[in-house]
Amino acid sequence: MNNNDKVYVAGHRGMVGSAIVRNLNARGITNIVTRTSRELDLRNQQAVNDFFAKEKPNYVFLAAAKVGGILANNIYRGEFLYDNLMIEANVIEAARVHDVTKLQFLGSSCIYPKLAEQPMMEDALLTGPLEPTNEPYAIAKITGIKLCDAYRSQYGCDFISVMPTNLYGPNDNYDLESSHVLPALVRKFHEAKKNGGKEVVMWGTGSPKREFLHADDLADACVFLMETFSDFGFVNIGTGTDVSILELAQTIKEVVGYEGEITHDLTKPDGTPRKLMNVDKLKSMGWAHTTELRTGINKVYGALNTQPWY
């Protein structure tokens, strides 16, 4: 990519898309085209095609998706499957039709089997059953990977896929009904501190282990891979280290300065026991993360004063 190329970032107001925009701007790439979901419904094939015909982007980062945590994934199963299938199919097809130079599709670590060998290598895809609570979302993301591969094979399109681990950072979702675990816990501990609550209730046992990557690190990896990776398959993006959900909660408790107790709601599901990325492939290309978890949580918590519930 150079400064004259037009870059379309789909999902630019989300945590991932906004981080990619910041990273591109920092590199001097400012010819960035965006649309909000109100301006362009990516589920509408004609609208997407008209947009590509008008704007003719050279590069596309496909970071738009319908996302959520365990609760939202499990309740809105049809929406998560349909919306994500339509978004990726419409954008990828329009990119082919309108001769986009390169497209990058962003997936999710939930594509891996529930009991995949840890840490999860890229070749573990489709080697076992998925985690039931987020199976529809995972199937949609797997389809996106396979669509990029199929277009590379049939049409010669330079379409690539990347697989981020669990993310956090600016523009995260703090809605307790649809957020992921890290922002949900940040909000719970902050509100308990503010309101003098004696306990913060965690879902499940706290024993599952998760890997967390700051969104700005992800964006840096995405731009790096856009410029260096061109092949079938995909590349894991993560830190290569993980913590238990209980350890995460204890770290957030310390960062927030909450002095109450952590208790457990054992009627709620734990989800997948462990989801750790093997990032050897990415490291061999010359990229590694720079933001450690406690540092990242401090950054996130220090910037929350714009939240209405803060």
Rounded Cα distance between 246 and 209, Å, is: 9
- Residue 62, annotated ligand binder? no
User: Does residue 45 have a pLDDT over 90?
Assistant: yes
The answer to the question of whether 107 is labelled as a binding residue is yes
Known binder of ligand: residue 275?
A: no
Q: Is 17 annotated in some ligand binding site? A: yes
β-partners of residue 234 are 161
What's 143's domain CATH number? Answer: 3.40.50.720
Residue 234 within any structural domain of the chain = yes
102 is in an annotated binding site: no
Range of the domain at 22: 7-170+211-240+276-290
> Is 179 within the bounds of a domain?
no
Which residues are paired to 201 by β-bridges? 263
Confidence of residue 274 (pLDDT cuts 50, 70, 90): confident
Contact 262, 199 (CB under 8 A): yes
Q: State percent of the chain over pLDDT 70.
A: 100
Ligand-binding annotation for 263, yes or no, is: no
Question: Looking at the domain assignment, is residue 305 inside a domain?
Answer: no
For range 193-205, the mean pLDDT? 95
Residue 130 lies in a domain: yes
The token duo for 76 is 């809105």
H or E element at residue 201: strand 199-203
Would the annotation count 11 as a binding residue?
A: yes
The total of structural domains in the chain comes to: 1
User: Residue 202 falls within a domain, yes or no?
Assistant: no
**Size of the chain in residues:** 310
Residue 261 lies in a domain: no
pLDDT confidence of residue 270: 85
Catalytic residues: 137
Structure tokens that stand for 245 in this block:
């959900």
Structure tokens at 248: 């995460």
Any residues with CB less than 8 A from the CB of 214 and at least 6 apart, and which? 167, 168, 169, 289, 291, 296, 299
275 compared with 36, residue with greater pLDDT: 36
Is residue 270 assigned to a domain? Answer: no
Over the stretch 64-94, which tens digit does the pLDDT of each residue have? Answer: 998 777 777 788 899 999 999 999 999 999 9
In a domain, 250, yes or no: no
pLDDT in tens, 153-179: 999 999 999 999 999 999 998 988 778
pTM: 0.93
Instruction: Tell whether 109 is in a known binding site.
Output: yes
Q: What is the CA radius of gyration of the chain?
A: 19
Q: Which residue has the tokens 């965006």?
A: 34
289 is an annotated ligand-binding site residue: no
Beta pairing partners, 103: 60, 159
